Structure formats: structure tokens, C-alpha cells
């Protein structure tokens, strides 16, 4: 009886959190991050402002929205990265990043706010911890099928990952366009895979 009560309470908290995040995302995207207030998010989610603040302030909500979506992409990809005998190409590696680049390009202003929050360093994001490890593992899985020698797979994955983060931050700041960032990432992947010591 007690465990059922705890479980339903935990499920209720998770459902409330999702409702708050959905309301925040909808408002952030329709009227802008800066124009949206906690009071508006509470009204949209049909909860109190205290309930919204229990989930987090605006910065925390935005980081959670992005991190939740990015986490779902990685979770959905476990089955897509099944072992293959075909040699991996630059395009195979680039496919790992397509959902993320597309998501950031969806709303450049919101993406800028997200990266600005991360750069300020006041809010932790799973993209630098758990999700970094997940993406590195995915990169290594694909690069293991490329002409890169086994000893270079790990360093190659880290090089591509760091280039991706840098380009994403640069594009989100508006310094370059997302298509340009994607093209530069393709060039980086080409460079890593086509190194002389990577040729068989």
C-alpha cells in the first residue's frame, strides 16, 4: 500500500514536471524566451508559480527542455547503431549529428539563449556528462568501421565531438549559419577519417 502511494506520487511529480516543461517550451517558442514569465508558464500548465519554480527558473527550464530532447534522441538510437560490416563514411558519421543540428536550427533565438546559459556556467547540462559519453560511444561505434586504425578511433571520436560542440556554440551565437556549421563539421570528419595514418 505504502509503495503504491510513493510510486503514484513519484509518477505525479514526473507528469507535473513534463507539463511545466511542455508549457515553457510552447511559450518560449511562440513569444520568445525573454518575453515569457514564470506566471505565464504556470497559467499555461495550469499549476501554481511555486510548482513551476520547484521544477526550475527559466534558465533551468530551457536547459531541461533541450537536455530532455537530446536524451530521447540518444535513447532512441540504441537500436539504430546495430553492428554492420560496411565501411563507415563521412556521411555515416555526420548522420549522428543531423537531429541535433536540425533541432538547434529550428529556433535560432532559443538555441542562442540555451548556449548562452551553458557558457555562463550557472546551470549544469547532461550534454557535458552522460550525453557526452553517449555521443562519444556512438561516434566510436561508427568510426570503428572506418579506415581509421583501432588506436585512433578514440582520439578521432573526441576530435569530432569537440569540433561539433564548438561549431554548435558558434552557430548558436549567430557567428555562422547552421548549414555552414554542418559543412565545417563534414570537413572535420573528412579530415579525421582521411589522415595518412588512417588509410589502410
pLDDT computed for residue 168 by the predictor = 86
Query: Does residue 157 share a domain with residue 115?
Result: yes
User: Phi and psi dihedrals of 148, rounded to 5?
Assistant: -65, 135
User: What confidence tier does 99 reach under pLDDT thresholds 50, 70, 90?
Assistant: confident
Quick: pLDDT tens for 172-194. 888 888 889 989 999 999 999 98
| Mean pLDDT, residues 143-161 taken together | 93
Quick: pLDDT tens for 110-134. 988 998 888 888 887 877 777 788 8
Query: Does residue 68 share a domain with residue 23?
Result: no
* Nearest alpha-carbon partner for 63 in 130, 122, 136, 133: 122
Name the H helices within the chain.
2-31, 38-45, 49-55, 58-77, 90-95, 98-106, 108-120, 130-143, 150-172, 178-193
Query: Does residue 85 share a domain with residue 150?
Result: yes
Averaged confidence pLDDT in the chain: 86
The rounded distance, in Å, linking the Cα atoms of 153 and 139 is 9
| Mean pLDDT, residues 1-5 taken together | 51
CATH number at residue 3: 1.10.10.60
pLDDT computed for residue 71 by the predictor = 84
User: What confidence tier does 7 reach under pLDDT thresholds 50, 70, 90?
Assistant: low
Question: Number of folded domains in the chain?
Answer: 2
Is residue 108 within 8 Å of 174, Cβ to Cβ?
A: yes
Name the H helices within 32-107.
38-45, 49-55, 58-77, 90-95, 98-106
Q: How crowded is the C-beta side of 23, counted as CA atoms within 13 Å?
A: 24
DSSP state of 85: -
Query: Does residue 3 share a domain with residue 69?
Result: no
The rounded distance, in Å, linking the Cα atoms of 158 and 98 is 18
The rounded distance, in Å, linking the Cα atoms of 24 and 28 is 6
Query: Does residue 99 share a domain with residue 21?
Result: no
Is residue 17 within 8 Å of 55, Cβ to Cβ?
A: yes
Query: Does residue 162 share a domain with residue 114?
Result: yes
Query: Does residue 96 share a domain with residue 44?
Result: no
Domain that holds residue 122: 57-198
**Which residue's C-alpha cell is 531541461?**
64
Helix (H, G, I), strand (E, B) or coil at 94: helix
Amino acid at each position: 500500500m505504502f509503495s503504491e502511494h510513493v510510486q503514484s506520487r513519484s509518477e505525479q511529480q514526473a507528469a507535473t514536471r513534463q507539463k511545466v516543461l511542455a508549457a515553457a517550451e510552447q511559450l518560449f517558442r511562440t513569444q520568445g524566451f525573454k518575453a515569457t514569465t514564470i506566471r505565464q508558464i504556470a497559467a499555461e500548465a495550469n499549476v501554481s508559480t511555486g510548482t513551476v519554480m520547484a521544477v526550475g527558473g527559466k534558465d533551468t527550464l530551457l536547459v531541461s527542455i533541450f537536455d530532455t530532447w537530446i536524451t530521447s534522441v540518444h535513447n532512441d538510437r540504441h537500436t539504430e547503431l546495430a553492428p554492420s560490416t560496411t565501411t563507415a563514411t563521412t556521411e555515416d558519421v555526420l548522420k549522428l549529428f543531423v537531429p541535433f543540428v536540425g533541432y538547434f536550427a529550428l529556433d535560432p533565438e532559443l538555441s542562442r539563449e540555451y548556449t548562452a546559459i551553458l557558457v555562463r556556467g550557472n546551470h549544469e547540462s547532461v550534454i557535458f556528462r552522460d550525453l557526452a559519453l553517449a555521443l562519444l560511444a556512438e561516434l566510436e561505434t561508427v568510426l570503428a568501421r572506418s579506415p581509421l586504425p583501432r588506436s585512433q578511433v578514440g582520439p578521432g571520436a573526441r576530435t569530432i565531438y569537440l569540433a561539433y560542440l564548438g561549431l554548435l556554440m558558434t552557430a548558436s551565437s549567430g557567428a555562422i549559419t547552421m548549414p555552414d556549421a554542418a559543412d565545417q563539421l563534414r570537413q572535420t570528419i573528412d579530415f579525421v577519417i582521411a589522415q595518412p595514418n588512417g588509410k589502410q
